[in-house]
Structure 1
Amino acid sequence: METALNIARITLSIICILAVIASKIKLGNWWIRVFDFPRIQLLSLAFIAMVLFFIPPLKFHAWNLALLALVIISFIFQAKKIYPYTILAKKEVKRFRGTDRENGISMLVSNVLTPNRQANKLIDLVKSYQPNLVLTLESDKWWEKQLETLEKDFPHQVKIPLDNLYGMHLYSNLPLENTKVHYLVKDDIPSIHSEVVLPSGKKVQIHCVHPEPPSPTESDTSVPRDAELLIVGKNVKEADLPVLVFGDLNDVAWSRTTRLFQKISGLLDPRKGRGFYNTFHADHNLLRWPLDHIFHSKHFQLKKIKRLPSISSDHFPIFIHLILNPGNGQEDQKEKLEKDEKNWTKETIADANPNMLTI
């Protein structure tokens, strides 16, 4: 029993410590960046490890105390990363009270999982929530055919069916103008950029993205993903119109890249102070984190945000309703980029050798 406890304590402690070290290393290798994702799980592991240190018959030798101290540091490190997304933290986006149909915009974002054949589940959600915009990711020709039933209610469409897990379809019941499809970093990974005309006549700039994740089966480095997000961030920071950036970013809200994207773009995250809204992995309760995101400029307040039921994909859909109504109190609170952040941004974009820098 004592031997098993010691093995468990040491194993969990090493995992927690390595995760912190990996987070501090500014390299894009997938096996390093993978530690950005499970911070909730790593926090739980650190807590379990701390508890194990106080189960007898542990003898507190110097090395045990040192190991315990490192585990406590790792617990605090992970807690600080995810704290802004708990209900204990300050909300970054104010709640809109009242009704304003002229200046409202709602979106349903869903990574459908290309081989998934339960299109009816997504269609039912669209009919139930009646969003203004529907963005599907990983949608191919089969999905395009199934979603034709939406076209009557969503007369404005951008269709990019692909078989490489990066297909993308946008359906809108509001007019779209100046629509462009770009392949910012890689020739087979598209993004959609357009302007939406609200019922009030006001326009909103939208950017739909789905960059490539760092993983052993797709990209062995996070550089392409990081570069795409940073390019979008740099392009929207001085936008003349209100801005929305949404999609499956293949990155978590608390990663260095996403936090830097927010600093560069000045966009707000309505999840802060409200919850994690974990959208991946839909099939594993203990392995979930927020991969699908909706960021917006200071011009909006939040009416509703909700993670929706499963559509048999590995991602849950997410729904958000925003009102064009400035007043979040964030206008003069933009964080300034540090010199090393500016350098890292330039180096990352240069290393990706992108197809274009201006959207």
Structure 2
Amino acid sequence: MIHEILFYLSIAVILSTLVPFIRHDFWVFRIFEYPRLQKLVLNILVIVAILIFAYPQQTTDYLVFVAMLINISYLVYLIFPFTIFGKKQIISSLERSGNNNLKVFIANVYQENKKASEYHKEINTCDPDVILMVETDKWWQTQMDTLTKRYPFQLKIPLANTYGMLLYSRFELQDGEIKYLVKSDIPSIETLVKLPSGQLVKLFCLHPEPPVPQENPRSTERDMEILMVAKKAKESKYPVIVMGDLNDVAWSYTTELFGKVSGLLDPRRGRGFFNSFNAKYFFLRFPLDHIFCSPSFTLSSINRLASCGSDHFPMCVDLQYNPKAATKNDVPEASNEDLELANEKINTEL
């Protein structure tokens, strides 16, 4: 009985790793990209259990056991770049320079959550220059507008559909626009932020739909919005920061394609997972809230903050503009095949 359970569990684990190779936009295929760390842990536990309780005896047992070893090797390969042993994609700042630093705070508040005071505490802890809050309706705007004295520059789209956005900045915002890149009820923000040094930084704030049955059964619109911003970032004449709840994990093929097409860097690489979702269940946590930046930045700090009643943890990331860093950072590059794939996804008929 134990032998059969472990045999079929092994097959299930292997299949869960293979499913994301099917490049279909339907949520059943895309959702399996998320739990790579969980799959790795389960893979290890099953292998240990096989060695203890059901050591391979027949040829099929050995074949499945070898497949499990290959599977675990592949998962380690995928996850390794996001551990402290991986190569840092963006170098650390030698010292903090207030004139060229931009500290950002991002939070998916969970619209029904009413613990606004907890966010004020975390904002005071982070002391950011720019605050982005998503899933914010008019109630949340009322609660957060007490920040106005400290953060006088604002772009706000409170919505009741869980896709509202609030952007507060202590630095001047220029040419700020509310965009609806893919759907008429899902906004994004594009604006320039003026650092104390006078340097302008292009800021993109996103919160696309997740590929889940209750929201959207396909990842088509999410992928389209993410890759549209990737192209905009690549074409920008200013250094760029993209941030928000992208509803995609850091290691998915869409996020990796975003990095290649945009040329932007992920500060988590070489530093840790910084899983921001799900705050309520420790065994179901993934890095869904992202901050990407141009190669002309270094990293002063990155922190996941305390839970504030939402299903997402807030994130606080401190970046420093330093053009000399571009030659030292590990900049991703897109192949012709990558660019063709990105254009194909952007031009998909909905």
The normalised TM-score by structure 1 is 0.94
Shift of 1:36: 0.5
Inter-partner Cα distance in structure 1 for 2:96 and 2:162: 38
Q: 1:338 to 1:42 in 2, by over 3 A?
A: farther
Residue number among 95, 102, 107 corresponding to 1:105 in the alignment:
102
Inter-partner Cα distance in structure 2 for 1:333 and 1:129: 28
Q: Which residue of 1 aligns with 2:81?
A: 84
Q: Which residue of 2 aligns with 1:191?
A: 188
Inter-partner Cα distance in structure 2 for 1:12 and 1:273: 32
SS at match of 2:23: coil
Inter-partner Cα distance in structure 2 for 1:124 and 1:338: 47
Residue number among 166, 171, 182 corresponding to 2:168 in the alignment:
171
Shift of 1:352: 4.9
> Please, which runs of 5 or more residues in structure 1 have no aligned partner?
354-359
Worse-matched range after superposition: 120-129 or 191-200: 120-129
Residue number among 1, 6, 9 corresponding to 1:9 in the alignment:
6
Q: Which residue of 1 aligns with 2:306?
A: 309
Q: Which residue of 2 aligns with 1:289?
A: 286
Inter-partner Cα distance in structure 2 for 1:346 and 1:241: 23
Inter-partner Cα distance in structure 2 for 1:268 and 1:229: 15
Residue number among 172, 177, 180 corresponding to 1:180 in the alignment:
177
Residue number among 334, 337, 341 corresponding to 1:336 in the alignment:
334
Worse-matched range after superposition: 342-351 or 116-125: 342-351
Inter-partner Cα distance in structure 1 for 2:349 and 2:18: 25
SS at match of 1:54: helix
Q: Which residue of 2 aligns with 1:31?
A: 28
Q: 1:201 to 1:333 in 2, by over 3 A?
A: closer
* Contact kept? 2:261, 2:339, Cα under 8 Å: no
Q: Which residue of 1 aligns with 2:320?
A: 323
Q: Which residue of 2 aligns with 1:224?
A: 221
* Contact kept? 1:224, 1:352, Cα under 8 Å: no
Inter-partner Cα distance in structure 2 for 1:342 and 1:65: 41
Residue number among 278, 282, 296 corresponding to 1:299 in the alignment:
296
Inter-partner Cα distance in structure 2 for 1:274 and 1:332: 14
User: Over the residues paired in the alignment, what is the CA RMSD in angstroms?
Assistant: 1.4
Inter-partner Cα distance in structure 1 for 2:21 and 2:253: 10
Shift of 1:57: 4.9
Inter-partner Cα distance in structure 2 for 1:210 and 1:299: 25
SS at match of 1:16: helix
CA deviation vs aligned residue, 1:297-321 (integer Å, no higher than 9, x gap)? 0111010100000000000000011
Inter-partner Cα distance in structure 1 for 2:178 and 2:91: 32
Q: 1:122 to 1:333 in 2, by over 3 A?
A: closer
The amino acid of 1:94's aligned partner reads I
Inter-partner Cα distance in structure 1 for 2:39 and 2:96: 41
Q: 1:278 to 1:329 in 2, by over 3 A?
A: same
The amino acid of 1:270's aligned partner reads P
Inter-partner Cα distance in structure 1 for 2:249 and 2:146: 33
Q: Which residue of 2 aligns with 1:114?
A: 111
Shift of 1:270: 0.7
* Contact kept? 1:223, 1:352, Cα under 8 Å: no
Q: Which residue of 2 aligns with 1:351?
A: 348
Shift of 1:332: 8.1
Residue number among 194, 197, 201 corresponding to 2:198 in the alignment:
201
CA deviation vs aligned residue, 1:134-184 (integer Å, no higher than 9, x gap)? 000000010001111111111011110111110000000000001011110
Q: Which residue of 2 aligns with 1:241?
A: 238
CA deviation vs aligned residue, 1:312-345 (integer Å, no higher than 9, x gap)? 0000000011111131535685423252x33332
The amino acid of 1:199's aligned partner reads P
* Contact kept? 1:12, 1:45, Cα under 8 Å: no
| Identity among equivalent pairs (%) | 41
Q: 1:330 to 1:28 in 2, by over 3 A?
A: farther
Q: 1:57 to 1:211 in 2, by over 3 A?
A: closer
Inter-partner Cα distance in structure 1 for 2:94 and 2:349: 43
SS at match of 1:290: coil
1:69 corresponds to 2:75: no
The amino acid of 1:303's aligned partner reads S
Worse-matched range after superposition: 43-52 or 298-307: 43-52
Residue number among 121, 136, 139 corresponding to 1:124 in the alignment:
121
Inter-partner Cα distance in structure 2 for 1:165 and 1:285: 23
